[in-house]
Amino acid sequence: MTEPDPFRVIFVCTGNICRSPMAEVVFRDIADKQGLGDRILSTSAGTGDWHVGEQADTRTIEALARRGYDGTRHRARQFTYDAFATNDLVVALDRSHERILQQWARDESEEGKVTLLLSFEHNPSVLDVPDPYYADARMFDEVLGMIESASHGLFGQLEPAIRPSAPRI
């Protein structure tokens, strides 16, 4: 019996150097620690092309490192129409990204893949992960905390469908 294709999640923010790289790295870490790193693939992209090819913002890499994550391999890229076809879930970091992605969707199937990360919080009081780009390192840490919490919620929703079932005897 062949293994099913991995479930693919792409996280999307504005420039793909702050929020979405954090979400990509955190979500991959959660999947790896739960033994599902080969069943779930996480990537990220930006709605804009300003930073394509660049590393994540230094403050992003530092915030991730303070919590034990490695964000040094990230290179920014822009979201393309093809990403709808190659991903099972398109996770927007705020409502402006959600609106853009829904406008870019070519049909209801693609539009249905778009969701907000903070909608996976148990009781979301806000729906937008704030952009820390113009803030200090403390804000990057706060944003990372929000992303970690919501990513655990997202993983909890996906895990039952992705975890291989035990063989029946």
Identified catalytic residue from 8, 67, 88, 131: 131
Active site residue 131: yes
Active site residue 18: no
d(CA 34, CA 105): 32
Identified catalytic residue from 19, 39, 59, 77: 19
Q: Which two tokens stand for residue 4?
A: 């099913």
Contacts of 7 (CB under 8 A, 6+ apart): 39, 40, 41, 88, 89, 158, 161, 162
Cβ neighbours of 124 (radius 10 Å): 16
Active site residue 13: yes
Give the active site residues: 13, 19, 131
